[in-house]
A and B are shown apart, each in its own frame.
Chain A
Amino acid sequence: MPASNKPAEVSGTPPQGRTGTGQPRLRLRKLTDKSAGVLFWVNSLLSAVILLGILAFLLYYGVRTFRETPVVGFLFGTKWNPDAYGEPSYGIIPLLVGSFLTTLIALLIAVPAGIAGAIVISERLKGWVRVTVKTMVELFAGFPSVVLGFFGLVVLAPLIARVFHVPSGLNLLNAGVLLGLMSLPTIISVTDDALRVVPHSYREAAYALGATPWTTAFRIVLPAARSGILAAVMLGFGRAVGETMVVLMVAGNAAIIPHSLFDPIRTITSTIAIELGESAFGSTHFYALFALGFVLFLIALGTNLVAESLIRREKRSFTL
């Protein structure tokens, strides 16, 4: 992300010391120094420009939706049926609810499990065991979602149907559980990093007062790392809300507001994936999908910004 490049420091501090400007070597060094600075500037500018470009592109196409359908109907309508028998309707509420509820279930599963896992990895495991476990967790973060979706389709769906005596396991619960599994590695990894940043003197002080390692972990280290943990949760949220393939495969994809865990749901992402291919270029349906993309972008951008600022706050308070 742009914030990690610090161009000002590179270009703003020319090499001090001996000022033998006549020496060609030094001039060359100054030149490379300057060009490196420019390169960093261009790089960080580029990512910002691309980000703004995507935003502008989504907005440019998205607003055209509202030439044929009112904004209020789009934001507050409870029916999404662009390819209708009769009049098409473009209400995003069922899709927002679908995205929100799957993400909520995912976080209800992944946050407690993720924090517990991170405590074990950070506070209890040592040496090569810790490294191995952490690496495996991070590897799982790159697990292909289509494989997980297939697992949900052939294993989890029949299991849910049998255990809860419901007609079909392709529902909100299935999608939520799988998304929880998907965001677990992110949460574990970032929480672990946050716990490691807590200074060792905190732990030593707790031990000196007679606290057990577990008490220290829960009462001292965890509260000290809370903003980093919040950032981990935010990143997990972003992972879950943006995931497409898994929910497309197991959520049942009915655009309704569910009444129970066992109703099918449809998310914003799967709607775009299902419908973009068949919507004719230039139709209201086509533009409405870009408007949906814009809404999703705002949600993801918002969570990332919050997470970023929390992580920065965490670093500032401990690395002094």
Chain B
Amino acid sequence: MKKLLTITVLAAMVTTLAAREVMVKGSDTLLNLVQNLAEAFGTASPDITVSVAGGGSGVGINAIMSGETDVANASRPIKSKEISTARSNGINPVEYAIAIDGVCVIVNAANPVEKLTVSQFGQLYQGKLANWSAVGGPNKKVSLYGRQPNSGTFVYVRDEAVKGEYAPAMRQMNGNAQIVEGVKADEGALGYVGVGYAREPGIKVLSLSKDGASFYSPLDKEAVDAGTYPLARPLFQYTNGKARGDAKAFIEFELGEAGQKIVEEEGFYPLTQGYKDKNAANLQ
């Protein structure tokens, strides 16, 4: 413990000595992507170090609200209550969308169910439907896998699709990768992860429908771009005031051609024109 403390203190001292650093913190869904972006940015501009940490969107937004980070990653938009808390601390969060995500509803590869309506999905997660036979599957108990409350995906899925409390028995996993592992090992599993984590053997991505008539898959880029896939969402970064200096350089890199190419390589979707225009206005 003491050793760990010494190392942390030393590391903190070393990083403060290295003059040009951008600190990024927050969403676990964005963690891999932004780490790759930071690496590529580091090759392009070697004198700026971008350090990326996870912890969840809530942790990132909390850190920007208290001025502890330069950039916050968030897989959900900042809440109005959080904005007012930030303002009372003299901090003015400015939003940039950096990628588009379709939250993927996943089941074990052995599960014959292929599609769900949003309302079925909500009832499953509220615990009102407890058996797969209720949605056309086998007679098997549904075991729910979700994220922890510090996760933006946890909040986004609850507010947009579940529209109620999650069933208390839902297992709260620490990150997307753990949900994927859990679902792989459990034939009755139901889970949700960012699209960047869903292309894995052993799991199956379900199609979703708002109206029960037309079903769309989050792996279908057009459905996500057009917003016909019900759980399509932008992934955000926040800065205190309009981004300046090194943080601005990093965000511009992410939004540029090279950055958006990495977004696609990581399995997420590049920004549509509407978001690009909004970002441009916030970078001016």
With contact pairs A168-B143, A254-B172, A277-B58 given, residues A161 and B185 touching in the complex (Cβ less than 8 Å): yes
Which residue from B55, B164, B170 sits with its C-beta under 8 Å from A277? B55
Which residue from A82, A86, A167, A275 sits with its C-beta under 8 Å from B187? A167
With contact pairs A277-B58, A278-B59 given, residues A168 and B185 touching in the complex (Cβ less than 8 Å): yes
Which of B155-163, B221-229, B262-270 lies at the binding interface?
A: B155-163
Q: Mark A148-188, 1 if CB is under 8 A from B, else 0.
A: 00000100011001000001111000000000000000000
Instruction: Flag if B165 contacts A86 (CB, 8 Å).
Output: yes
Instruction: Flag if A85 contacts B141 (CB, 8 Å).
Output: no
B189 within 8 A of A: yes
| A42 to B231 alpha-carbon distance, docked (Å) | 61
| A63 to B178 alpha-carbon distance, docked (Å) | 36
Q: Mark B129-172, 1 if CB is under 8 A from A, else 0.
A: 00000000000010100001110000100110011110011111
With contact pairs A79-B168, A263-B169 given, residues A277 and B59 touching in the complex (Cβ less than 8 Å): yes
B182 within 8 A of A: yes
A228 within 8 A of B: no
With a cutoff of 8 Å between Cβ atoms, the chain A residues found around residue B170 in the complex are 254
Instruction: Flag if B150 contacts A158 (CB, 8 Å).
Output: no
Interface size of A by CB at 8 A reads: 33
Which of A30-38, A197-205, A210-218, A245-253 lies at the binding interface?
A: A245-253
Q: Which parts of A258-278 form the interface with B (CB within 8 Å)?
A: 263-264, 266, 274-275, 277-278
| A161 to B108 alpha-carbon distance, docked (Å) | 15
Q: Which residue, of B59, B66, B158, B168, has the highest number of chain A Cβ atoms within 10 A?
A: B168
Residues on B facing A (Cβ under 8 Å): 55-56, 58-59, 61-62, 65-66, 82, 85, 141, 143, 148-150, 155, 158-159, 162-165, 168-174, 178, 181-182, 185-189
With contact pairs A157-B185, A167-B189 given, residues A278 and B168 touching in the complex (Cβ less than 8 Å): no
Instruction: Flag if B158 contacts A85 (CB, 8 Å).
Output: yes
With contact pairs A249-B174, A253-B148, A277-B150 given, residues A264 and B169 touching in the complex (Cβ less than 8 Å): yes
A44 within 8 A of B: no
Q: Mark A3-46, 1 if CB is under 8 A from B, else 0.
A: 00000000000000000000000000000000000000000000
With a cutoff of 8 Å between Cβ atoms, the chain B residues found around residue A263 in the complex are 169
A256 within 8 A of B: yes
Interface contacts (Cβ under 8 Å), in number, total 88
Which residue from A82, A252, A256 sits with its C-beta under 8 Å from B149? A82
Instruction: Flag if B58 contacts A278 (CB, 8 Å).
Output: yes
Could you list 18 further interchain pairs (A-B, Cβ under 8 angstroms) beyond the known A252-B171, A278-B62, A281-B66?
Answer: A81-B165, A81-B168, A83-B149, A85-B162, A94-B168, A161-B186, A167-B187, A168-B185, A169-B185, A253-B172, A253-B173, A254-B168, A266-B172, A277-B56, A277-B62, A278-B55, A279-B58, A280-B85
Instruction: Flag if A167 contacts B168 (CB, 8 Å).
Output: no
Instruction: Flag if B62 contacts A280 (CB, 8 Å).
Output: yes
Instruction: Flag if B164 contacts A85 (CB, 8 Å).
Output: yes
Instruction: Flag if B149 contacts A253 (CB, 8 Å).
Output: no
Instruction: Flag if B168 contacts A274 (CB, 8 Å).
Output: no
| A173 to B149 alpha-carbon distance, docked (Å) | 24
**Who on chain A is nearest to B59 by CB?**
A277
A84 within 8 A of B: yes
Instruction: Flag if B62 contacts A158 (CB, 8 Å).
Output: no
Instruction: Flag if B188 contacts A167 (CB, 8 Å).
Output: yes
**Who on chain A is nearest to B152 by CB?**
A278
With a cutoff of 8 Å between Cβ atoms, the chain B residues found around residue A264 in the complex are 169, 171
| A169 to B143 alpha-carbon distance, docked (Å) | 12
Instruction: Flag if A85 contacts B159 (CB, 8 Å).
Output: yes
| A82 to B150 alpha-carbon distance, docked (Å) | 11
CB distance from A276 to the nearest CB of B (A): 9
With a cutoff of 8 Å between Cβ atoms, the chain B residues found around residue A256 in the complex are 168-169
| A253 to B150 alpha-carbon distance, docked (Å) | 13
Return 23 A-B CB contacts under 8 Å, by A number: A83-B58, A84-B165, A85-B163, A86-B164, A153-B178, A161-B185, A167-B189, A168-B185, A169-B185, A253-B171, A253-B174, A254-B168, A254-B172, A256-B169, A264-B171, A274-B148, A274-B172, A277-B62, A277-B150, A278-B62, A280-B62, A280-B65, A280-B85
